[in-house]
């Protein structure tokens, strides 16, 4: 098979071989329906609970606060619509930001058609929301604040702990789309006062088609899909057992090797920025340099022809790839 050099890990990642090996038996050997009472089913129910623990451990949650979904987008939908539908007697106002992923933005747009009101916070030139603007936007009717943990394009990490504090002080639920953050940042939902958190396996070396949602115990939220009673009656549908094994094993693997991996990623990114700076005179690195996802690069180029830019970036790419191979022991 041809080796491809793929670095767009904000879009997706390959499934790690180790994770894939753990998943495979659940497609055709241990494929029982976890709702079945006989042993092949019961065994899979146990596996699901074990994977719930793997996820809970990483974010400092309780396993019963983890719900499996089909993707990050579904987790966002379930979190936002779920909280809004269950709490409409308390109010109809949501606060989010202008730079959310479409899974959040379009969910809010849909809710606006259903009578909810949404404030879309501005961000500054580095992509940060303004905490004063957040406080000033809070109304008596505000039931949910949904702000992404880290942005998928410029990598900005939002002031999550401070947002959590504000939400807690005003008694408003706080959801964060952490699809870019899980795998790249250490997350503690207790310390950060997060009530709901979305993640997706394919962004951290797990398979596509499986996500998870953390919902703090005591947060009232409704299901958004009718059917069987799976996932404590919050998410109908026969469990994706292989996928659930995939997300649980992937998160465990990433966080077991976190410090070493993170350090390499950061050094690679800085190496890349340096090489681009050296080879192209007028560049602007978009987003914040400190509060930024370790693997993110987003650069604007000024006054350079497209063709010359392509050639120069191609040279940098080759240097970068060599460095990558050395760092990760591939050569």
Ligand X SMILES: *Cc1c(COP(=O)(O)O)cnc(C)c1O
**Angle 298-302-304 from CA coordinates, rounded to 5°:** 110
- Phi/psi region, residue 146 (left: phi>0; alpha: psi -120 to 50; beta: rest), is beta
Q: Tell the smallest beta-carbon distance from residue 55 to ligand X (Å).
A: 15
Q: How would DSSP label each residue in 137-152? A: H--TTEEEEE--SB-T
CA dihedral defined by 321, 324, 328, 329, rounded to 10 degrees?
A: 60
Cα dihedral sign, 103-109-114-118: positive
> Quick one: 51 or 152, whose CB is closer to ligand X?
152
> Quick one: 83 or 316, whose CB is closer to ligand X?
83
Rounded Cα distance between 145 and 148, Å, is: 10
Q: Which of residues 156-195 bind ligand X (CB under 6 A)?
A: 177, 179-180
> Quick one: 158 or 280, whose CB is closer to ligand X?
158
9 contributes a contact to ligand X by CB under 6 A:
no
Q: Tell the smallest beta-carbon distance from residue 292 to ligand X (Å).
A: 14
Q: Which of residues 32-61 bind ligand X (CB under 6 A)?
A: none
Look at residue 312 and give its three-state secondary structure.
helix
Stretch that binds ligand X, among 121-129, 184-192, 200-208, 286-294 (CB under 6 A): 200-208
Look at residue 5 and give its three-state secondary structure.
coil
211 contributes a contact to ligand X by CB under 6 A:
yes
Q: Which of 71, 95, 213, 245 binds ligand X (CB under 6 A)?
A: 71
Rounded Cα distance between 14 and 80, Å, is: 29
What is the total count of residues that contact ligand X (CB under 6 A)?
Answer: 14
73 contributes a contact to ligand X by CB under 6 A:
yes
> Quick one: 164 or 183, whose CB is closer to ligand X?
183
Q: Tell the smallest beta-carbon distance from residue 126 to ligand X (Å).
A: 17
Q: Which residue is nearest to ligand X (CB)?
A: 72
Stretch that binds ligand X, among 31-39, 69-77, 91-99, 167-175 (CB under 6 A): 69-77
Q: Assign 3-state DSSP to the chain and report helix, strand, coil percentages, each to 5.
A: 45, 15, 40
94 contributes a contact to ligand X by CB under 6 A:
no
Stretch that binds ligand X, among 66-74, 136-144, 215-223, 297-305 (CB under 6 A): 66-74
- In 3D space, the residue among 111, 233, 228 whose CA is nearest the CA of residue 175 turns out to be 111
Q: Tell the smallest beta-carbon distance from residue 15 to ligand X (Å).
A: 14
Task: Write down the H helix ranges in 114-217.
Answer: 131-137, 160-169
**Angle 252-257-259 from CA coordinates, rounded to 5°:** 125
Q: Which long-range contacts (CB under 8 A, 24 or more apart) does 282-289 make?
A: 286/126, 286/154, 287/126, 287/127, 287/151, 287/154, 287/155, 287/156, 288/126, 288/127, 288/128, 288/156, 288/157
249 contributes a contact to ligand X by CB under 6 A:
no
User: Is the separation of the CB atoms in 179 and 101 below 8 Å?
Assistant: yes
200 contributes a contact to ligand X by CB under 6 A:
yes
Q: Which of residues 112-151 bind ligand X (CB under 6 A)?
A: 148
101 contributes a contact to ligand X by CB under 6 A:
yes
> Quick one: 32 or 207, whose CB is closer to ligand X?
207
107 contributes a contact to ligand X by CB under 6 A:
no
Q: Which of 152, 184, 230, 297 binds ligand X (CB under 6 A)?
A: 152
Q: Catalog residues that contact ligand X under the rule CB under 6 A.
A: 71-73, 101, 103, 148, 152, 177, 179-180, 200, 202-203, 211
């Amino acid at each position: 098979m041809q080796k491809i050099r793929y670095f767009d890990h904000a879009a997706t990642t390959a499934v790690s071989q180790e994770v894939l090996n753990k998943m495979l038996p659940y497609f055709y050997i241990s494929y029982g329906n976890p709702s079945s009472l006989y042993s092949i089913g019961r065994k899979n129910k146990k596996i699901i609970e074990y994977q719930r623990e793997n996820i809970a451990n990483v974010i400092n949650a309780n396993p019963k606060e983890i719900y499996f979904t089909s993707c990050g987008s579904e987790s966002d939908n379930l979190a936002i619509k779920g909280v809004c539908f269950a709490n409409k007697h308390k109010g109809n106002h949501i606060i989010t930001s202008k730079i959310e992923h479409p899974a959040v933005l379009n969910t809010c747009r849909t809710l606006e058609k259903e009578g909810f009101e949404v404030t879309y916070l501005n961000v500054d030139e580095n992509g940060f929301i303004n905490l004063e603007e957040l406080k000033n936007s809070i109304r008596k009717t505000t039931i949910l604040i949904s702000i992404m943990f880290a942005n998928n394009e410029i990598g900005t990490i939002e002031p999550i702990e401070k947002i959590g504090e504000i939400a807690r002080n005003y008694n408003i639920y706080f959801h964060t789309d952490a699809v870019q953050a899980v795998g790249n940042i250490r997350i503690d939902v207790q310390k950060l006062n997060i009530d709901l958190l979305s993640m997706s396996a394919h962004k951290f070396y797990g398979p596509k088609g499986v996500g998870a949602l953390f919902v703090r115990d005591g947060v009232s939220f409704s299901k958004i899909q009718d059917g069987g009673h799976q996932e404590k009656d919050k998410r109908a549908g026969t469990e994706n057992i292989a996928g659930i094994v995939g997300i649980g094993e992937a998160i465990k693997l990433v966080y077991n090797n976190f410090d070493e991996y993170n350090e390499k990623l950061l050094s690679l990114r800085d190496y890349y920025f340096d090489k681009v700076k050296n080879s192209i005179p007028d560049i602007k690195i978009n987003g914040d340099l400190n509060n930024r996802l370790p693997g993110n690069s987003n650069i604007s180029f000024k006054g350079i022809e497209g063709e010359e830019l392509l050639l120069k970036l191609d040279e940098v790419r080759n240097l970068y790839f060599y460095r990558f191979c050395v760092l990760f022991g591939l050569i």
